[in-house]
Amino acid sequence: MSLKATKILKNTPSVIASAAVGGKKEHEGPMGDYFDKINDDPYFSLDTFEQGESQIQKQAVTYALRKAKLRQEDIDVLFGGDLLNQCTGTTYGVRDFEMPFLGIYGACSTMAEGLMLASLFVDGGVSDIAMAVTSSHFCTAERQYRFPLNYGGQRTPTSQWTATAGGALAVSAKTSPPYVRACTIGKIVDMGVTDANNMGAAMAPAAFSTISEFFTDTGLAPQDFDYIVTGDLGKVGSRILCELFERENISIRENHKDCGMMLYSFEEQDVHAGGSGCGCAASMLCGYFIPKLRAGELHNILFAATGALMSPTVNQQGESIPSISHLVWLSHEPDSLTPRSCGKEGC
């Protein structure tokens, strides 16, 4: 079955601004200099970790607006979501902005989904300026998905460290790099993994599915891109992804980057299999990759964030973990590389 899930953007809209927010541990890691705003206090001077996470969202949107010299009333639509039950990190974080808001849920793939929707809205003339935002917070995620921090539970070697971080970006008509060239909407993939402490293994097949579909639909190849960026597969998931491609005689080892492998120092920061959370991929995209694409230090990347679409409730009921990956192609040029048309309008 070959569904054409890849959309080639006719008007190649621009990401006109992006901002990355992080916490203390993210600041201390190798990517610490790429954040626009650092918060040393996990409570963000508020009463609860959840209120703290909402501050990440608020800060990310505020900094992105400021960098784009935009006011909140200039924004036609904001796409946002996060990992918390009912996406409250987002809804409480952005409720004061009075922007038209569409909530999205893609677990850790949320920034790819938001960037895709914002770009398609601008490309199709639905919106002039569209934004996307997401976040995660180590302390809210541990409480919700595993144990409260005070419990002191041991972490397995395959477990990942949820980033206290977030990112926001604004998309508008084509003016300056980076340009959004295409996107591939993911399908849910479930290979039967049931270990909630091994998200990388659950998510890698989803990344493989979507990235493969992009190459098939466009006729482009891994070597056409500076980097193929995944969201937060970590050590375990990244190894599986590379092996899945090698089974098809395709090598992505040379230019594969995983945000979960970039955010922290494995030697010094005790993060086991790497970073994770919506904010991991979002902060690396908004703080590191987009500025480098803008400056021309990078020319073409695929950003394929992945999400594990389970909840503790159904996982405890014995269910396996369905996953998804959404992909966006970002470019320094509006017309470098020529994707094969897939023969459909809007594609």
CB of 292 to its own copies, least distance (A): 28
Contact between 7 and its own copies per CB under 8 A:
yes
Q: Which two tokens stand for residue 82?
A: 């996060």
- Per CB under 8 A, which region of 33-41, 83-91, 232-240, 280-288 contacts its own copies? 83-91
CA atoms within 13 A on the CB side of 201: 13
Candidate residues 13, 166, 186, 200; the one interacting with its own copies per rule CB under 8 A: 186
CB 159 within 8 A of CB 272: yes
Candidate residues 310, 327, 328, 342; the one interacting with its own copies per rule CB under 8 A: 310
Q: Return the residues of window 318-347 that contact its own copies according to CB under 8 A.
A: 319, 322, 324, 326, 344-346
CB 273 within 8 A of CB 200: yes
Backbone phi, psi, residue 332, to 5°: -75, -25
Closest CA to 195 of 82, 325, 316: 316
CB 276 within 8 A of CB 163: yes
Closest CA to 170 of 266, 243, 62: 62
- Report the residue number, 267 or 345, with the smaller CB distance to its own copies: 345
Candidate residues 44, 121, 208, 289; the one interacting with its own copies per rule CB under 8 A: 121
CB 133 within 8 A of CB 114: yes
CB of 76 to its own copies, least distance (A): 7
CB of 227 to its own copies, least distance (A): 24
Q: Return the residues of window 140-179 that contact its own copies according to CB under 8 A.
A: 144
Q: Which two tokens stand for residue 302?
A: 């695929």
Contact between 129 and its own copies per CB under 8 A:
no
Closest CA to 323 of 241, 215, 227: 241
Contact between 50 and its own copies per CB under 8 A:
yes
CB of 149 to its own copies, least distance (A): 15
Q: Would the CA dihedral through 141, 146, 152, 156 be positive or negative?
A: negative
Residues that bind its own copies (CB under 8 A): 1, 3-5, 7, 47-48, 50-51, 73, 76-77, 81, 83-88, 91-92, 94-95, 97-107, 113, 117, 120-121, 123-128, 144, 185-188, 190, 309-314, 317, 319, 322, 324, 326, 344-346
